Structure 1
Amino acid sequence: MKFSSSLKFNAVSEWWDEYIAYDALKKCIYQLEKKQHNLDQSYHDLEANEHSALMSPGDGSNSSTDALFRSLLDRELLKITTFYEQQEAELLDEVKQLEKLVEQQEAAGLAGNHYIAEFGDLDEDDDDDEEDFYDATSPAQSREPGSTSRRRRRRKSSSAGFGREPNLHDRPDSRPPIQHRSSISSSSSGHADLDASLLSLSGPGPAEGQHGSNRSPVATVRRIARKLPLLGESFMKDSSTSSVPENIWSSTSNYAYDTRLLFKRRITAQYIALTSLRSYVEINYSGFRKILKKYDKVTYNELKDLYLHDVVERAQPFTQASKDKLTDNLNQLLDLYAKCVTLGDRSKAKLQLKLHQRENIAWERDTVWRQMIGRERRGDSDGHPKAIGSVVQEEADSGMDVKTPVGRVKFKRRHLFLLIAVTTFIILLNVQTVDGVEANRCFAILMFCTILWATEAIPLFVTSMFVPLLLVCLRVIRDDDGKQLAPPDATKFVFQQMFSPTIMLLIGGFTISSALSKTNIDRVLITRVLSLAGSRPSTVLLAFMGVSCFASMWISNVAAPTLCFTLIRPILRTLPPKSAFGPCLILAIALAANIGGQSSPISSPQNLIALQAMDPPLDWARWFAVALPVSAISIIIIWLFLLVSYRPARSPDGEGEIEIKTIRPTREPFSWKQIWVSFVCLVTIALWCVGHEIADYVGDMGVIAIIPIVAFFSTGVLKKDDFEQFMWTIVFLAMGGIALGKGVMSSGLLQVMDVLIRDMVDGLSLYTVVIVLSPVVLVISTFISHTIASVLLVPIAKEVGSNLKGDHANLLIFITGLICSAGMGMPVSGFPNQTAATQENELGELYLSNIDFLKNGIPSSIIATLVVSTVGFLLMRAIGL
């Protein structure tokens, strides 16, 4: 990829005229080539897609060409050096002032909190500055077309508190005139033999949305600085009344919180400005190196090494002393951030500051990059972020070094789990544990997969892919007469079971979820519902729980909490510091999303696995008749429990109640595309509800699932890349689970278990079995994936139910599937909990701790389980299960 493209993507747009004029210099090179060789024919350059002739060395005057090109480079170097000196002086001076402010604030302690009262509510200004700040620092926002980062806002300032800092705000611009790109043309104006195109060298700047920032980092520092009080005589005077001022950085008062937040913004903006200046130096050095390399290549000269070492590297921006000075000041800012924000944790400070740095895009001329670009253009990229639980586990699984005869080997925890699984598998294959060769082998496969699924030593879907391989190669599958099937016949049987109508139902659910999200229907409906909740904390909490549960029914319990956490950001920003409503609301959304996993057959994979095991399958109408009342009752009881546990309406100082910012609904009317998506979704759901009545026409609910796929992809609502970005790992996980269940039945392992299970449940009533089974399912689903819990427990529930008088297999399968979604007592219990556990406030502090999950998640899990085993049991009996 051309360097000019890299420059456009990585340059600070406000500094665009101060970067090396790479494209202009490149055009000059081609004109100098023509002058050197006195050429009239066209030229061709493969990189620039421009024409040039291959010339033999020695033609023309190299010395005159070098002199002319050096004059152009000298002017560019002068421009860059002048700009750098001015920016460096300003930024380093501001770092010193910031250090003084921190020292004065530290000396004053909490004695200076009078300025808050003098200025009243700063929320409105804070919101404006925050918008400006993140526009200038967030690559994701600044790259979007129509970015608001170029907007200018007029600020009111007052000398009483948020004063104007000398030499920092509104200082006259004393910068000397700088030679811009036109300087090149002026330098070459005296050479009549150069083409007239040299007179228009200032080429276009970076296209809107193609660079990391649309505002000068120095301007951002000045805007953020207006929020920071000028700590002077007033603070020192107040602090003199206390011989030992309290440490403001560790205080939990509102004033300390606000002060830390203001310092965080100021230090972060200053840090970004310095890193932008450092990037400015690196990009320009690369520009000189690239253009000199191209010059030597085109004109057959050897100017590159001489000019780089003797001229460029001796200029102030590129000397080692200047680089060390920037590094030292960045380390000072890092220390200030650690002191003011992260309570001395330097590693945490470094991590948080890196999150705000501008992205730099680098191109590599290799096959890997070209393949990646090709995949992006074809829509082949995955597009899904890594599961949060996997990231946490990967970071925690640092491993340990083990001495071996061949040296030290790093041994990670997942390697140990994998070794245990393989060892167990080999032992069980060679030890007769259960009667029957096929049953014993199937038992070994079952334990092998269970260990891998429970420990996640390898990705869950990879373990699922082991299932058909092992079932076929170990000759586990038998026919109806009890004889081993040959591998070709066993392969057909296993793959037929894997791609079942249930899998098609899952894909249809993904299609509906993707269409609702892409057409923004989910956000429109959710915001309109939430706008009716008002401003009472208890009502808002219940409304968000209801919305989270409903969204999980149709757009999965992975996307639903993420969407809700985005919608509550305005609320969290306006809450008083240390308010209990923030963590309460985040946890409530996660718990409700887990409950929403019960509500519809397509809301979670465990429900589909339960449906697959039922004989006959349950239609949607009867599923809703049980699941909706159970979910609603669970949501209400958990809501009441959270109100008692957190008391979210109470203000942090214990006086009065807080008021919640009302959610504003979107005012955009429904488009025809949204109406079409809504119509298809409603028709599909209605057909699913009456699936058994129309079975003679459609065969199975999996066939009905084809309707939204055809309707959305054929009309352009969804594209090819949308299909490729479905959660195929979940699909293959469900496939492996279904295949394993069929293997357990076909191998005779289930018949062996039948004798043991019959002895266990002999003499027990149906409800007694429900009471015994429910806590077992809850405990297992709390500590491992809900889907994996259903894969392991649904076959057991089916066999237990079939051995009861009256054959209540479907009832126990239904109860098992619902309770699998109720396991939410740990931070790693399901994706909603994992997402909630990572939510942070503006200071980078987590809203929730493990104590929050243990104290509130475990009781909520017990509540949901009790509702399923009581109300759910009665409703199941009422519908004939």
Structure 2
Amino acid sequence: MKFSSALKFNAVSEWWEEYIDYDTLKKYIYQLEKQQQGLSSSYQDLESNERTSLVGRPDDAATDSIFIPLLDKELKKITLFYENQEKELFEELEELEALVQKQDEIGLEGDHYVDDGEYDDEDDESISRSPVGQRRRRLSSAFTHSRNTSIPGGTSAPETSARPHRYSISSSEGDMEDSIASLKWPIRKVANTLRGMRDSVTMRESVTSSALLETVWTARTNYAYDTRLLFKRRITTLYITFTSLRSYVEVNHSGFRKILKKYDKVTYSELKDHYLHDVVEQSLPFTSTAKDKLNSAVDRLVELYMKCVTQGNRNLAKQQLKLHQRENIAWERDTVWRQMIGRERRGEGAASRSLGASLVKEPEPGLFAIPTPLGRVPVTRKVLFLITALIVFAVLLSVRVVDGEEANRCFAVLIFCTILWATEAIPLFVTSILVPLLLVCLRVVRNPDTEQRLSAQDATKFIFSAMFSPTIMLLIGGFTISSALSKTSIDRVLITRVLSLAGTKPSVVLLAFMCVSCFASMWISNVAAPTLCFTLIRPILRTLPPKTSFAPALILGIALAANIGGQSSPISSPQNLIALQNMDDPLDWGTWFAVAIPVSALSILLIWGLLLASYRPSRSPDGEGDIEIRPIRATKEPFTRQQYWVSFVCIATIALWCIAHSIEDYVGDMGVIAIIPVLAFFATGILKKDDFEQFAWTIVFLAMGGIALGKGVTSSGLLEIMGEIIRDLVDGFSLYNVVLILSPIVLVISTFISHTIASVLLVPIAKEVASSLGGNHQNLLIFVTALICSAGMGMPVSGFPNQTAATQEDDLGELYLSNVDFLKNGVPASIFATLVVATVGYSIMFAIG
């Protein structure tokens, strides 16, 4: 990656103007190079693809005298900015340490809540005019409170028991500042009390010495919980700012080193070593003393966090602070789509996840070790699964299980891939890529006309031509729409406007979020939709009372609704595309919506009722009142021309998909229509090459492998053999009885393995079952199978939305959901959704033919 691109990615957006102006300095270097060589007055910069004009032509000795003042100007700008930031941050750190020390004197036992009325305006104004107070206002959106009463710092009388508790919850980032302003930050009282002792607080390490940290906060009262939470937020925000400042120094030092290296290389000078060591590294931000001071401040914050939050566990304190730092970077610099791809690349996606694990993903421990001449080799669970799959594969290849050599080999491939997909011994997409290799090398593919085995060359052409089908192009078109909606923030704008109408009742807000999650899953996939929704509910979760039942109900409701949303449109999940691929006469979007939308809507209502009965989310934790949620504020910014263009293209594409059968003489297939958004967004610059590279290509290859395996099963003759067995099993059963038998089988399998893999394995079986029944019921059974694959959501591992929900934590690092939550609510929800498909869905399918 070029340094200019790396600078944009690593820079803090608010400080962008204060970084080294690398691009401008690079242009000056090319100008000096041209002047040195006496080139024409117009020079093409191949790296930046820009042309520059020059005036004058200095000799070689003059280049340093021109370039050094430019470097000095940048260095002065960086130094002044760093001095101001350093002074302000250390003042806040001193105050924070003093507050912690004062809190130790007050203690965490009992109830020290302070009423708002104890603060006078004069005190508030004096603090707000201070540098720390001004900084606090800028950071105030990071701090919210779970009670209308204030938190530590006084000795006011407790609330009377006659007055019921009433909780006020901020539901959006914009509401946080209003909420904080009304709450009169309780820390101000302590700060005012400590005004006289601030002069005695110095920058020395003695403030965070053993005298301050000799005890840790372990009390578990409501007051102690709120106090720890408040200090956690202050420490975390200050930690993020200090580490950002440290990164600012490192990035700028790297910038000077890179630009000086480029200067020496282009102009044949030897300025780098002299200027870097004698000038840059002697300036304040880059001296060893300044760096040690920053590192010391970060260590002091870790010590404070260890004392206030993690009860003396230093390693856990470091892990949690680093996690908050990463989340801040993701929130500030990425779209939701990029966040989702980042999770997949870090191994936290649907293909690889350790649920309920620690904050930092640890490698899988070995079950035992095998001694070898090169050392002891640990054997993990995945290695055992892989070895088992290989042994089964070898046995099936050597034993005749079904008639026909090609069919027997294809059966071995099918079982081998099924074991790998079910156990995830290797990543799912790697297994999919393995499918065409096995089909070609084992000579499984036959000519459909002559039933003669194809040569390796012909089999390769046949398999690869089938893998990149119109269905795959439809999937890529769906990714393009998803990325465009996310990048232009249309998804966030529309969702916040819908949620602004939800009101303040928790039950209504829960239903609103479930509907939004389901609807978002239709268009930005049920992989990206929960990521977006969990981002939107962070302000609510941060301000909920401790141990409220609304938080787990909301998180689980979003996850279950996202699974249901996977049924709702052909592009909302890969299993729907697998179903379309296997239909001889694929359904158009209008027919799909006619069945899926009523089924999804009824399922959402049933699951909503289940969550209300299970959690009673409206009740406060102490049972003395109802929680109240402020309405989310809809954005007031008007749609831009770019957003209108994206909306028009998306609506037009979806409309064409809905009438695809009517215009198939002109467009051929829905996959051709999927090219429209690709052209419209990438050709106009709305999406860039980086966006294309960040598509979920693992999902694409997963679907391609499933298609290839389906072709192998069909062409090898294995499907015909399976068909004969299935005919005997379903002989005498009516169509509806077959649906009732097939539904629980599909539900159980899709609950424990990937929904996509379940569809890869079960859709061909449903297709063969339909052909065994006679009549034109193929599309119906395939459709039922695909919809029920999305209904498998009874376990934490059942689909990406559940896996994401299971990792959600509160501010103190505790998981909102446990396995019991999924078993108690996810299993009944799965059964409800399956029954809706098998009854209402079946009736609609049968009615529309």
TM-score normalised to structure 1 length:
0.71
Equivalent residues of 1:110, 1:247 under 8 A apart: no
Q: 1:334 aligns with which of 293, 296, 302?
A: 302
Equivalent residues of 2:116, 2:184 under 8 A apart: no
2: distance between equivalents of 1:42 and 1:684?
55
Match of 1:447 in 2: 415
Match of 2:773 in 1: 804
Equivalent residues of 2:109, 2:221 under 8 A apart: no
Match of 2:138 in 1: 132
Match of 1:189 in 2: none
Percent identity, aligned pairs only, is: 61
Deviation at 1:605, TM superposition (A): 0.9
Q: Residues 344, 764 of structure 1: CA spacing in aligned structure 2 closer, same or farther, 3 A cutoff?
A: farther
Say which SS state the counterpart of residue 682 (structure 1) adopts: helix
Q: Given residue 638 of structure 2, which amino acid in structure 1 is its aligned partner?
A: P
Equivalent residues of 1:605, 1:730 under 8 A apart: yes
2: distance between equivalents of 1:613 and 1:306?
67
Q: Deviations over 1:87-144 (max 9, x none)?
A: 9996886576355235324x45124234678579x9xx9999887338899xxxxxxx
Deviation at 1:603, TM superposition (A): 1.1
Equivalent residues of 2:217, 2:309 under 8 A apart: no
Match of 2:727 in 1: 758
1: distance between equivalents of 2:260 and 2:581?
67
Match of 2:104 in 1: 103
1:744 aligns with 2:713: yes
2: distance between equivalents of 1:316 and 1:530?
46
Say which SS state the counterpart of residue 773 (structure 2) adopts: coil
Matches within 5 A, 1:454-533: 454-479=422-447, 480-533=449-502
Q: Residues 877, 91 of structure 1: CA spacing in aligned structure 2 closer, same or farther, 3 A cutoff?
A: closer
Equivalent residues of 2:351, 2:428 under 8 A apart: no
2: distance between equivalents of 1:353 and 1:117?
34
Match of 1:769 in 2: 738
Match of 1:835 in 2: 804
Q: Given residue 113 of structure 2, which amino acid in structure 1 is its aligned partner?
A: N
Say which SS state the counterpart of residue 661 (structure 2) adopts: coil
Q: 1:558 aligns with which of 527, 536, 557?
A: 527
2: distance between equivalents of 1:690 and 1:780?
34
1:677 aligns with 2:674: no
Deviation at 1:306, TM superposition (A): 12
Note the residue ranges of structure 2 that are not aligned, 5 or more in a row: 23-35, 39-51, 62-75, 144-176, 330-337, 355-359
Q: 2:621 aligns with which of 644, 649, 652?
A: 652
2: distance between equivalents of 1:625 and 1:717?
32
2: distance between equivalents of 1:281 and 1:672?
39
Deviation at 1:288, TM superposition (A): 12
Q: Given residue 574 of structure 2, which amino acid in structure 1 is its aligned partner?
A: P
Deviation at 1:734, TM superposition (A): 1.1
Match of 2:503 in 1: 534
Match of 1:726 in 2: 695
Q: Residues 455, 306 of structure 1: CA spacing in aligned structure 2 closer, same or farther, 3 A cutoff?
A: closer
Match of 1:161 in 2: 189
1:257 aligns with 2:263: no
Deviation at 1:816, TM superposition (A): 0.8
1:795 aligns with 2:801: no
Equivalent residues of 2:771, 2:778 under 8 A apart: yes
Match of 1:392 in 2: 353
Equivalent residues of 2:463, 2:708 under 8 A apart: yes
Equivalent residues of 1:109, 1:248 under 8 A apart: no
Q: Given residue 388 of structure 1, which amino acid in structure 2 is its aligned partner?
A: G
1:586 aligns with 2:573: no
Match of 1:212 in 2: none
Q: Deviations over 1:300-349 (max 9, x none)?
A: 999999999xx989x999789x9999877755643442342234443322
2: distance between equivalents of 1:687 and 1:324?
62
Equivalent residues of 2:285, 2:291 under 8 A apart: no
1: distance between equivalents of 2:774 and 2:745?
22
2: distance between equivalents of 1:720 and 1:292?
30
1: distance between equivalents of 2:488 and 2:272?
58
Matches within 5 A, 1:620-635: 620-635=589-604
1: distance between equivalents of 2:511 and 2:819?
23
Q: Deviations over 1:221-264 (max 9, x none)?
A: xxxx9xxxxxx9xxxxxxxxxxxxx99744252x2232112221
Q: Deviations over 1:420-442 (max 9, x none)?
A: 22222222212222211101110
TM-score normalised to structure 2 length:
0.73
Matches within 5 A, 1:356-367: 356=324
Q: Residues 733, 127 of structure 1: CA spacing in aligned structure 2 closer, same or farther, 3 A cutoff?
A: farther
2: distance between equivalents of 1:854 and 1:797?
28
Equivalent residues of 2:518, 2:561 under 8 A apart: yes
Q: May I ask how many residue pairs the two structures share in their alignment?
A: 744
Q: Given residue 161 of structure 1, which amino acid in structure 2 is its aligned partner?
A: K
Match of 1:417 in 2: 385
Equivalent residues of 1:342, 1:348 under 8 A apart: yes
Q: Deviations over 1:401-429 (max 9, x none)?
A: 54324312243433332222222222221
Equivalent residues of 1:42, 1:53 under 8 A apart: no
Q: Residues 110, 458 of structure 1: CA spacing in aligned structure 2 closer, same or farther, 3 A cutoff?
A: same
1:693 aligns with 2:721: no
Deviation at 1:715, TM superposition (A): 4.1
Larger Rg belongs to: 1
Equivalent residues of 1:453, 1:788 under 8 A apart: yes
Deviation at 1:706, TM superposition (A): 2.9
1: distance between equivalents of 2:758 and 2:639?
41
Q: Residues 272, 718 of structure 1: CA spacing in aligned structure 2 closer, same or farther, 3 A cutoff?
A: closer
Equivalent residues of 1:289, 1:304 under 8 A apart: no
Deviation at 1:594, TM superposition (A): 0.6
Equivalent residues of 1:42, 1:52 under 8 A apart: no
Say which SS state the counterpart of residue 189 (structure 2) adopts: coil
Q: Residues 609, 280 of structure 1: CA spacing in aligned structure 2 closer, same or farther, 3 A cutoff?
A: closer
2: distance between equivalents of 1:612 and 1:776?
21
1: distance between equivalents of 2:577 and 2:273?
70
Note the residue ranges of structure 1 that are not aligned, 5 or more in a row: 23-40, 44-48, 56-74, 138-148, 176-217, 219-224, 226-231, 233-245, 362-378
Deviating more after overlay: 337-346 vs 255-264: 337-346
Say which SS state the counterpart of residue 361 (structure 2) adopts: helix
Deviation at 1:443, TM superposition (A): 1.0
2: distance between equivalents of 1:318 and 1:626?
68
1: distance between equivalents of 2:255 and 2:491?
47
Deviation at 1:593, TM superposition (A): 0.9
Say which SS state the counterpart of residue 590 (structure 1) adopts: helix
Match of 1:113 in 2: 113
Match of 2:397 in 1: 429
Deviation at 1:299, TM superposition (A): 8.3
Q: Given residue 104 of structure 1, which amino acid in structure 2 is its aligned partner?
A: E
Say which SS state the counterpart of residue 775 (structure 2) adopts: coil
Q: Given residue 229 of structure 2, which amino acid in structure 1 is its aligned partner?
A: L
Equivalent residues of 2:95, 2:191 under 8 A apart: no
Say which SS state the counterpart of residue 659 (structure 1) adopts: strand
Q: Given residue 97 of structure 1, which amino acid in structure 2 is its aligned partner?
A: A
Deviating more after overlay: 388-397 vs 616-625: 388-397
Match of 1:364 in 2: none
Say which SS state the counterpart of residue 353 (structure 2) adopts: helix
Q: Given residue 353 of structure 2, which amino acid in structure 1 is its aligned partner?
A: V
Deviation at 1:641, TM superposition (A): 0.6
Match of 2:570 in 1: 601
2: distance between equivalents of 1:621 and 1:464?
31
Equivalent residues of 1:574, 1:661 under 8 A apart: no
Match of 2:791 in 1: 822
Deviating more after overlay: 815-824 vs 849-858: 849-858
Q: Given residue 879 of structure 1, which amino acid in structure 2 is its aligned partner?
A: I
Q: Given residue 308 of structure 2, which amino acid in structure 1 is its aligned partner?
A: C
Matches within 5 A, 1:126-205: 132-133=138-139, 161-164=189-192, 166=194
Equivalent residues of 1:432, 1:440 under 8 A apart: yes
Q: Deviations over 1:12-36 (max 9, x none)?
A: 999999x9999xxxxxxxxxxxxxx
1: distance between equivalents of 2:693 and 2:15?
39
Equivalent residues of 2:477, 2:678 under 8 A apart: yes
Equivalent residues of 2:109, 2:219 under 8 A apart: no
Say which SS state the counterpart of residue 628 (structure 2) adopts: coil
Match of 1:201 in 2: none
Equivalent residues of 1:94, 1:168 under 8 A apart: no
Q: Deviations over 1:459-495 (max 9, x none)?
A: 2222111111211121101112221011222122212
